[in-house]
């Protein structure tokens, strides 16, 4: 049975909030909801959202987490917190008092980060989170219940939209130009005039053109189809919009995993160290804290890496420095700016490559190679793990075929996955879709049309 009461939690929460105030964290109003592990599994399946539209993939995710949990392969997270105003967090009733105190403090760290980091402030409106998820859920349900649409057709569009959701420019703070603005910008380049020629040479790239549509390559696949697909029904456009909006909401969390978890761990540690904890609670706290921020050999534990880096910054530049960074950076920039050779050696970071059926270390963070290891690490964090794919022509061959280019950075696409994803894209687009990429160093064009999948070298 629980070794705490809600009153007790509230007393601890009050002490923690005093510290939050004292340290200068800037939080939304906080709501804690207590739930048992079964309810927690349910919330996890829907990313913590009290309301969410239905789709079989969430059932799958539930079964998977539950199986892992039931077999003891993995525990449940101590907490689940969502970016909303008021900030909503779940506390699991099965946890001990110490874990609850640790979690409450941790949640305030996330809360502050949500409210202040630019990836969140530029992409999401925390006041609307709960409401807009509810509204989207209602819309999807209304389509499912509409006898002229129904389950199967909604699922078909959602399946495809989910497959393409991450084909999206990761930075919401960069304003998307409208088509007219793009045309406007394309015009001078067609005359050959480059207003920035004195500052820098234009990178080698096909010049934007008003001949083609879209004038400039487009990263946001779902939004593009929503806006420019000639034949989609209103409900189909709406489904694309729903998935697009939801991905936009979650992207900041993907982009700041290391910073965000590191920040929350940094603060739960500071706060609990400053509280007058009873001896046994303090001992358990130290054990739990170390479990959370310990390195995971062979991979990267974001809690660990973030925790270490925030400490480094505070030590080196003083605590004042961390506030600005938590506002202005995302993981890629955070690592680029603050992960130095010394820290990498302390953490024993290394990079590995597949060799035969083994994974073999190819570089460690020594004087010669640390920069390589760092570059590789940055490429695999956040949205860096999603291949960058852009629409270059929506009227290819003058037959309204969709032409996409994969911005190849040395990493090949998984072809089996690419085939099925293109199939989803074809389902939505309705005409042939083509994707230019590289396979084993050779330029290759993948295509999907009514005859199925096709891959051939570009000559």
Partner 1 sequence: MVDSIFRPFASGDALKSDRTARDRQRHRHKLKEAIRENIADVIADESIIGRDRDKVIKIPIRGVKEYRFVYGDNQGGVGSGQGDTQPGQVVGERQDGQGEPGKAGDQPGVDYYETDVTLDELVDIMFEDLELPDLERRILKDVVADRTVKRRGYRKSGVRVHLDRRRTARARVRRMKARGVEPPEEPADPREGRGLPIHPEYGEKRFPFIEDDLTYKKLIEDTKPESNAVVICIMDTSGSMDSMKKYLARSFFFLLYQFVRTKYERVELVFVAHHSRAKEVTEEEFFYKGESGGTMISSGYHKALEIVRDRYHPQHWNIYAFHCSDGDNFESDNQATLKAAEELCDASNLFGYGEIKPMGSHFYESSMLELFGKLDKPNYQSVLIESKADIWPSFRAFLSREKAESA
User: And the tokens for 229?
Assistant: 């697909």
Could you tell me the smallest distance in angstroms from the CB atom of residue 180 to partner 1?
29
The count of chain residues that interact with partner 1, using the rule CB under 8 A, is 89
Pattern 249-278, partner 1, x by CB under 8 A: ------------------------------
Site for partner 1 in 158-197 (CB under 8 A): 162-167
Does position 373 interact with partner 1 (CB under 8 A)? The reply is yes
* Contact with partner 1 (CB under 8 A) among 23, 47, 69, 93: 93
Gap between the Cα atoms of 351 and 318, Å rounded = 31
108 or 285, CB closer to partner 1?
Answer: 108
Q: Is 59 in the site for partner 1 (CB under 8 A)?
A: yes
Query: Closer to partner 1 at the Cβ: 232 or 254?
Result: 254
Q: Does 13 engage in binding with partner 1 (CB under 8 A)? A: yes
Interaction of residue 408 with partner 1, rule CB under 8 A: no
Residues 6 or more apart whose CB falls under 8 angstroms from that of 217 comprise 390, 391, 392, 405
Report the residue from 269, 424, 432, 445 that binds partner 1 according to the rule CB under 8 A: 424
296 binds partner 1 (CB under 8 A): yes
- According to the binding rule CB under 8 A, does residue 415 interact with partner 1? yes
CB-nearer residue toward partner 1: 208 or 252: 252
Structure tokens at 67: 């199986």
Asked if 18 interacts with partner 1 (CB under 8 A), we say yes
**CB within 8 Å of 103: residues ≥ 6 apart:** 78, 79, 89, 91, 95, 268
Distance from CA of residue 13 to its chain's centroid?
A: 29
| CB 161 to partner 1: min, Å | 11
- Alpha-carbon span 275 to 272, nearest angstrom: 5
Q: Which CB sits closer to partner 1, 215 or 428?
A: 428
Is residue 291 a contact point for partner 1 (CB under 8 A)? Answer: no
- Residue 371 interacting with partner 1 (CB under 8 A): no
The verdict on 30 binding partner 1 (CB under 8 A) reads yes
Contacts with 258 (C-beta within 8 Å, 6 or more apart), sequence order: 300, 302, 305, 306, 309, 331, 334, 335, 381
Four-residue CA torsion sign, 109, 283, 290, 308? positive
End-to-end CA distance of the chain: 69
Is 149 one of the binding residues for partner 1 (CB under 8 A)? no
C-alpha distances (whole Å) from 340 to each of 122, 308, 327, 365 are 29, 12, 21, 10
Largest CA distance in the chain: 76
Measured in whole angstroms, the distance separating CA 358 from the mean position of its chain's CA atoms is 29
Helix (H) or strand (E) holding 272: helix 257-274
Nearer to partner 1, 10 or 122 (CB): 10
């Amino acid at each position: 049975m629980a070794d705490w009461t809600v009153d007790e939690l509230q007393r601890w929460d009050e002490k923690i909030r005093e510290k939050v105030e004292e340290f200068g964290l800037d939080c939304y109003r906080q709501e804690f909801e207590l739930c048992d592990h079964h309810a927690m599994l349910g919330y996890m399946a829907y990313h913590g959202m009290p309301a969410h539209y239905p789709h079989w993939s969430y059932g799958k995710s539930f079964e998977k987490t539950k199986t892992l949990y039931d077999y003891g392969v993995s525990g449940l997270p101590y907490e689940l917190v969502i970016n909303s105003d008021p900030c909503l967090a779940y506390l699991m009733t099965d946890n001990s008092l110490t874990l609850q105190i640790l979690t409450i403090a941790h949640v305030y760290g996330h809360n502050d980060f949500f409210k202040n980091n630019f990836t969140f402030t530029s992409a999401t409106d925390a006041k609307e989170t709960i409401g807009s998820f509810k509204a989207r859920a209602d819309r999807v349900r209304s389509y499912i219940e509409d006898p002229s649409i129904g389950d199967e057709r909604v699922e078909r569009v959602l399946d495809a939209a989910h497959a393409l959701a991450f084909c999206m420019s990761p930075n919401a703070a960069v304003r998307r130009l409208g088509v007219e603005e793009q045309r406007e910008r394309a015009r001078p380049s067609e005359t050959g005039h480059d207003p920035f020629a004195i500052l820098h040479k234009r990178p080698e790239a096909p010049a934007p053109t008003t001949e083609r549509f879209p004038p400039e390559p487009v990263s946001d696949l779902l939004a593009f189809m929503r806006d420019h697909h000639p034949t989609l029904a209103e409900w189909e456009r709406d489904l694309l919009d729903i998935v697009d909006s939801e991905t936009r909401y979650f992207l900041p969390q993907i982009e700041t995993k290391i910073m965000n978890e590191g920040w929350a761990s940094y603060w739960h540690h500071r706060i609990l160290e400053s509280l007058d904890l009873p001896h046994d609670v303090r001992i358990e706290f130290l054990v739990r804290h170390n479990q959370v921020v310990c390195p995971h050999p062979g991979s990267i534990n974001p809690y660990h890496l973030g925790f270490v880096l925030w400490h480094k910054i505070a030590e080196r530049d003083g605590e004042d420095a961390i506030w600005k960074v938590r506002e202005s950076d995302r993981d890629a920039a955070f690592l680029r700016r603050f992960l130095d050779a010394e820290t990498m050696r302390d953490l024993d970071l290394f990079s590995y490559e597949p060799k035969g059926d083994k994974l073999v270390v190819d570089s460690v963070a020594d004087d010669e190679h640390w920069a390589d290891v760092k570059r590789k690490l940055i490429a695999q964090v956040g949205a860096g793990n999603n291949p960058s794919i852009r629409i270059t022509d929506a009227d290819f061959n003058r037959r309204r075929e969709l032409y996409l280019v994969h911005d190849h950075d040395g990493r090949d696409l998984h072809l089996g996955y690419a085939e099925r994803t293109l199939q989803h894209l074809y389902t939505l687009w309705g005409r042939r879709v083509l994707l230019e990429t590289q396979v084993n160093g050779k330029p290759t064009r993948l295509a999907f049309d009514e005859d199925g999948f096709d891959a051939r070298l570009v000559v």
